Structure 1
Amino acid sequence: MAAIQVVRSEWTKIRSVASTVWTLSLAVVVTIALGMLISALQKSEFDSMSRTDQLTFDPTFTSFAGMSLGQLAMIVFGVLVVSNEYSTGMIRTSLAAVPQRGTFLASKLAVAAGLALAVGLATSFVTFFLGQAMLGTHKASIGDPGVLRAVIGGGLYMTLIAVFSMGVAAMLRSPMLSLGILMPFFFLISNILGSVDATKKIGQLLPDQAGSKIMQVVPPVDDDTPYGPWGGLGIMGLWVLAALIGGYVLLKKRDA
């Protein structure tokens, strides 16, 4: 089957499954709504902040506060795109139609990553502008130094989260097992490692903590992170590459 036909087939699969459409929609709504809420709360509390907190206040990063829950939906999206076929048994039919497993996985990744990127970038820009509207006089402008990089980076971050989840799902095949590992990893283990002094340096190298650096414009007080915004996104990219290589190797080795 020609590569273009495989891509079309994967596009049809994604848009015909209600769960994947709903998870992307949820990622958009949660990210925007929570970002607006946190921005409004920060505006009301700004005058009561310490002088240091006011000077290091990052209006851009504040508007992305909803990304922590929005990435949850992106994780589910990435897992479902890959593991749905395993849970329904359709993977046998798909691999029979496309025996070149590299082509099969690459086409699935290309379609899902392209969709995640489009949704992620749109969500990031809308989240930024609505969040800044909530902040009033404390807002940032898209033309301020580092702001456009942070907004575009927000879309890239959401995309990489989805692709990383796809790689993990390709390795594990089971949606429950994949989500059972990814959810605690991002929402418990990463936060714990990043907040404990003894393990902070390890936490800084995890994909979500490294990748989220791209959305920061004003560094926090006493920031000792050993990399910058693009360096952090690069570390996240290495995690994603490792997950994809693992998924491809296991897909090649195993039977459907």
Structure 2
Amino acid sequence: MTAQTTQLVGSAPSVPSAPGQHSARPAVRVTQLRVLRSEWTKLTSLRSTVWTLAAALAVTVLLGTILCRLAANDWPHYSPEGRATFDAAATSLSGMYLAQLAIGVLGVLVISGEYTTGMIRASLGVVPRRLPVLWAKVTTFAVASFVLMVVANLIAFTAGQGMLSSRHIDVALSDPGVLRAVLGTAFYVTAIGVLGMALGAILRNTPAALGTLFGVLLVLPQIVGALPRSLARVGDYLPSTSGDALMQVTHGSDLPSPTHGLLVLLAYLVVTVTTAAVLLVRRDA
């Protein structure tokens, strides 16, 4: 707790002085910037963070490259309809389906782990108000995840298009919609991580938060897919569908627009993070 306190305020706590004497170390005011620095230090000092981010980068690059290689090998057997709807950019970015799980798990652990170990009491005890801690956690995690996923997507895209170039079916980053897909996919994976963090703050229990996150990402799409056709459009409001919409460049009739996907993701984030903030203020640590 002492180390956390020192890191957060940027100076060791002042020692009470005798009457008539001045403290040798004046108290330093806790600011949002100092809280951000503290949370960044905590995030980057955990081995789980480094390994999980490395895993997300690896699966993004490897899966995208492998799928592009397979598509290039199988291209002569594609039907005319399959060739017309083939999305070279989305194929190279398909690693997001595994990366979202890694980043989502990390988002849950970043905050639920502190409730498990009791470290959250130290963080909240040092900061006069609780919300700056939550804002700092969300900001540092979102920035780290987004930057990593942009880098991973660019590497996966470059490697994947290199595989597809043997069949002359590759696309360039400057082609319409491609850069949007690269950045949009990175935003989607980051949003899933922040969603996991919000669930961790709301439920304060790692298994419960992970179960809820995986249920939303993996189970709900299966349930919605089994609904009658008249109710199938409910799937347009799932986070996973929004990710597909942001990743696709060649859009099919069954996918919403990228703008729709972006707005749906933002709505999920606003609702869950706001709920986490309200509960953080109202409940005991």
TM-score when normalising by structure 2: 0.85
Residue 219 of structure 1 aligns with an amino acid whose one-letter code is: H
Residue 172 of structure 1 aligns with an amino acid whose one-letter code is: L
Quote the residue 2:89 is aligned against: 60
Alignment of 1:155 with 2:186, yes or no, is: yes
Q: Distance in 1 between matches of 2:262 and 2:39?
A: 27
Give the superposition deviation at 1:204: 1.5
Tell me the SS of whatever aligns to 2:251: coil
Quote the residue 1:244 is aligned against: 273
Give the superposition deviation at 1:28: 0.6
Mapped contact 2:177–2:249 kept (Cα < 8 A):
yes
Quote the residue 1:253 is aligned against: 282
After TM superposition, list the pairs within 5 Å mapping 1:18-57 onto structure 2: 18-57=47-86
Q: Distance in 2 between matches of 1:36 and 1:249?
A: 43
Alignment of 1:127 with 2:156, yes or no, is: yes
Give the superposition deviation at 1:196: 4.5
Tell me the SS of whatever aligns to 1:79: helix
Percent pairwise identity? 38
Q: Distance in 2 between matches of 1:69 and 1:197?
A: 29
Quote the residue 1:185 is aligned against: 216
Q: Distance in 1 between matches of 2:227 and 2:158?
A: 34
Residue 132 of structure 2 aligns with an amino acid whose one-letter code is: T
Q: Distance in 1 between matches of 2:119 and 2:83?
A: 55
Alignment of 1:217 with 2:249, yes or no, is: yes
Q: Distance in 1 between matches of 2:221 and 2:269?
A: 16
List per-residue Cα deviations over 1:99-155 (Å, max 9, x = no partner): 311111001111111111111111111111111112122111111111111111121
Q: Distance in 1 between matches of 2:216 and 2:239?
A: 10
**Which sits farther off after the overlay, 88-97 or 149-158?**
149-158
Give the superposition deviation at 1:195: 6.0
List per-residue Cα deviations over 1:79-104 (Å, max 9, x = no partner): 11111110111111111011311111
Give the superposition deviation at 1:197: 4.4
Quote the residue 2:45 is aligned against: 16
Mapped contact 1:20–1:80 kept (Cα < 8 A):
no
Quote the residue 1:109 is aligned against: 138
Name segments (4+ residues, structure 1) moved above 4 Å: none
Quote the residue 2:237 is aligned against: 205
Quote the residue 2:108 is aligned against: 79
Q: Distance in 2 between matches of 1:188 and 1:44?
A: 32
Number of residue pairs matched by the alignment: 253
Larger of the two Rg values belongs to structure: 2
Greater relative contact order (CA < 8 Å, ≥ 6 in sequence): 1
Mapped contact 2:185–2:243 kept (Cα < 8 A):
no
Alignment of 1:138 with 2:169, yes or no, is: yes
Q: Distance in 1 between matches of 2:135 and 2:244?
A: 26
Q: Distance in 1 between matches of 2:55 and 2:228?
A: 34
Stretches of structure 2 that go unaligned for 5 or more consecutive residues are 1-29
Structure richer in helix, relative to its length: 1
Quote the residue 2:204 is aligned against: 173
Mapped contact 2:221–2:238 kept (Cα < 8 A):
yes
